[in-house]
Amino acid sequence: MVNLAQGMVERGIRVDLVLASAEGTFLDHVPAGARVVDLRSRRVLRSFGPLVRYLRRERPRALVSSMSHANLVALWASRLAGQGTPVVATVHNTMSQSTRRNGRLAAGLWPRLLRAFYPWAASVVSVSRGAADDLARSSGLPRERMEVVYNPVITPGMLALARQAPDHPWFAAGEPPVLLGVGRLTAQKDFPTLIRAFAEVRRRRPARLLILGEGEDRPVLTALAAELGVADDVDMPGFQENALAYMGRSAVFVLSSAWEGLPTVLIEALAAGTRVVSTDCPSGPREILQDGRLGALVPVADPNALAEAILATLDRSPGAVPLDALTPFMRDTAVDHYLRLIEKAR
């Protein structure tokens, strides 16, 4: 959302970033021309009343919402505010996978909520074709009403960040190749499969594994690396402000996720010129990697297949990614698409 706001600000459009609670490191990256509106709500659902008041007071041209709970609040608030503010509701994940893992109640309730609220949207946007298809199947909403707009991942300043030197001794000259994983240490990212695959890679050749991110699975992952005898070659230094610097110096970027919506980190790795290997999870990797032409795709939760793909990729010379493969993920492409949707809602 910050990248989208930056692109709109650069075109002279007034942008408010309306947040349930204005906190977090991303605030440091809010573009200078955008105004942050803090609704001072501890939870998204509690921001409903403040959002209604904001819409009545400011009467914005359109409201672009992001993530499932925020979409419902935005649609409901816009309807109650009575100002006719069109809502572009954006879905960032594979709905069936997300709701299934939140329990049977959520799996049954969410489709009903989507069918009730999403028809109020001027546009429903999914960040990948796979996520849009899944949303239609799991909610019963018409697929033809859904737009696909890839996240505005690639920005003019991105490549400069990728060229910076990462602060880690494993990138020194003469060290073994580094495999890189990035993401929250949670079940969705399935880093146990990556560590098991790495153990097989390490058995057959020198290599090291870095996993950037934090989350509740850290103790499990640490124990697994020790159990497999690769603890000395696995490091999890936590969240890093500039993960692109690590991508730019890594031998292979590996996405081991069980599910996604559109994995931003996979796009960033390609843009940084890094060779990639990914699970063929729902949704996004197959679209990003053009059915495997830009990087290997392997079955979900298959450490052996992942290890073989990593080994084959390490033996392959890096090649430049065609510009047209990255264009759909550029910021200006997404800004153009969202502005067309907003204009259409008039």
Give average pLDDT by consecutive 10-residue segment, the chain, 346 residues: 95 97 86 95 94 98 94 97 96 78 68 92 95 90 94 90 95 98 98 99 99 98 99 98 96 98 96 97 96 98 99 90 93 97 90
Please measure the distance between the N-terminal and C-terminal CA atoms of the chain and give it in whole angstroms.
Answer: 22
DSSP 255-299: E--S--SS-HHHHHHHHTT-EEEEE--SSSHHHHTTTTTSSEEE-
pLDDT at 224: 99
Rounded to whole angstroms, the Cα distance separating 10 from 32 reads 10
**CATH homologous superfamily of 158-327:** Glycogen Phosphorylase B; (3.40.50.2000)
Model pLDDT, residue 151: 94
The total of other beta-carbon atoms located within 10 Å of residue 325's CB is 16
pLDDT of residue 190: 99
Q: What is the pLDDT of residue 250?
A: 98
Distance of alpha carbon 11 from its chain centroid, rounded?
25
What's the pLDDT at 74?
A: 98
Beta strands in the chain (DSSP E): 15-19, 34-38, 63-66, 87-91, 123-126, 146-148, 178-182, 208-212, 234-235, 252-255, 275-279, 296-298
Check residue 2 and give its pLDDT: 92
Would you list the domain boundaries of the chain?
Answer: 2-152+330-344, 158-327
pLDDT at res. 12: 97
| Cα 42 to Cα 113: distance, rounded to the nearest angstrom | 22
How high is the pLDDT of residue 101? 63
Question: Cα dihedral angle (166, 172, 174, 176), rounded to 10 degrees?
Answer: -50
Q: What is the pLDDT of residue 200?
A: 99
259: its two tokens: 């599910």
Sequence letter at residue 327: T
**pLDDT for the residue numbered 29:** 87
Are both 2-152+330-344 and 158-327 of the same fold?
Answer: yes
Q: What is the rounded distance in angstroms from the CA atom of residue 137 to the CA atom of residue 212?
A: 34
Rounded distance, CA 228 to CA 196, Å? 8
Please provide the CATH number assigned to the domain covering 2-152+330-344.
Answer: 3.40.50.2000
